[in-house]
Chain A
Amino acid sequence: MTLPAFTMFALLLFCMGLYAVLARRNLIAILIGIELMLNAASVNFMAFNYFVAPDPAVGQIIVLFIIGLAAAEVAIALSIILAVYRQRRAIDIEQLTEVKG
């Protein structure tokens, strides 16, 4: 198992997240996709950190930051989703098209 393998795996994970973001209608399912994409990035950082970084602490610290930001993002996203739900009785992205021209 070498660096390209981890990178490929991370790409796979990212593309699955992308698929979820593109295909799902449920806002929470889309959020799941986003989380997968974030984790793909984390995996990449960890892999590069493990294999090539001269200072092994850096990648881990960035992953910690990603985790922290993801927590914040999820908190905001979920509260928005709930707010949307309360207003519309639905969290279908197909109905959230107010910004259309």
Chain B
Amino acid sequence: MITAGLLMAVTFAAALLAVTLRNVLHAIFGLAVALLGIAGIFITLGSPFVAAMEVLVYVGGISVAMVFAVMLSTVVARQDEGGRRRVWAGLAALGFFAAMALVITRADFGPDSDPSEQAWAVAEIGGDLLTHYNVVFEALSLVLLIAIVGAVAISRREAAASGSARLEPGAIDPDGTGKSDVESEQRGQDA
């Protein structure tokens, strides 16, 4: 359980960095560390499989995608937030925290079951996924598919529109907007 406390501390620190660092790229790295910490917490909570998934998808996929996005939108790596803005946001978050903490401390979670004996096979999760939660599982796969198609579609169309809009007035473009399209398509794929 000391491990768990340690992991929490690391995660907390990394998350704090992730939300405060001016440089978005740094913030993403902070996030990645925090996500790794959370994966560790998942292991202490007895589920190395979910922890592995967390690392794979979040750290390996989402964080990397974010980094790509930051790289593509070059001018905005650093942005200044006004002090007042931070204060108000902090107050709101603190207020929220206070309210919820009050509820948590007063809540009765019931008797803990004995967690130490529980050993979960990945096979059980897989079986449940493909039997009891089959419909949700398939629905989720559909959502992912649509998300991918949608993401590609959005970046392509916007790219095409902005690509032609970006042509200099009077500039000769012998291929019409073809060139810009190819460019933006590539960008979309990168994204």
A residues neighboring B (CB under 8 Å): 1-4, 6-9, 11-20, 22-26, 28-29, 31-33, 35-36, 39, 42-43, 46-47, 49-54, 56-58, 60-61, 63-65, 67-76, 78-83, 85-87, 89-92
Secondary structure at chain A's binding surface: helix, strand, loop or mixed?
A: helix
Secondary structure at chain B's binding surface: helix, strand, loop or mixed?
A: helix
Contact A78 B125 (CB under 8 A): no
Q: Which A residues are in CB contact (< 8 Å) with B81?
A: 23-25
Contact A29 B35 (CB under 8 A): no
**Within residues 74 to 101 of chain B, which ones have a CB less than 8 A from any CB in chain A?**
75-76, 79, 81, 85-86, 88-90, 92-94, 96-97, 100-101
Q: How far is the CB of A39 from chain B (nearest CB, A)?
A: 5
Number of interface residues of B (CB under 8 A): 89
Q: Which of A15, A16, A82 contacts B155 (CB 8 A)?
A: A82
B residues neighboring A (CB under 8 Å): 1, 4-5, 8, 11-12, 15-16, 18-19, 24, 27-28, 31, 34-35, 38, 41-42, 44-47, 49-50, 53-54, 57-58, 61-62, 65-66, 68-70, 72-73, 75-76, 79, 81, 85-86, 88-90, 92-94, 96-97, 100-101, 104-105, 107, 109-110, 112-113, 115, 118, 120, 124-125, 128-129, 133, 136, 140, 143-144, 146-148, 150-152, 154-155, 158-159, 161-162, 184, 187-188, 191
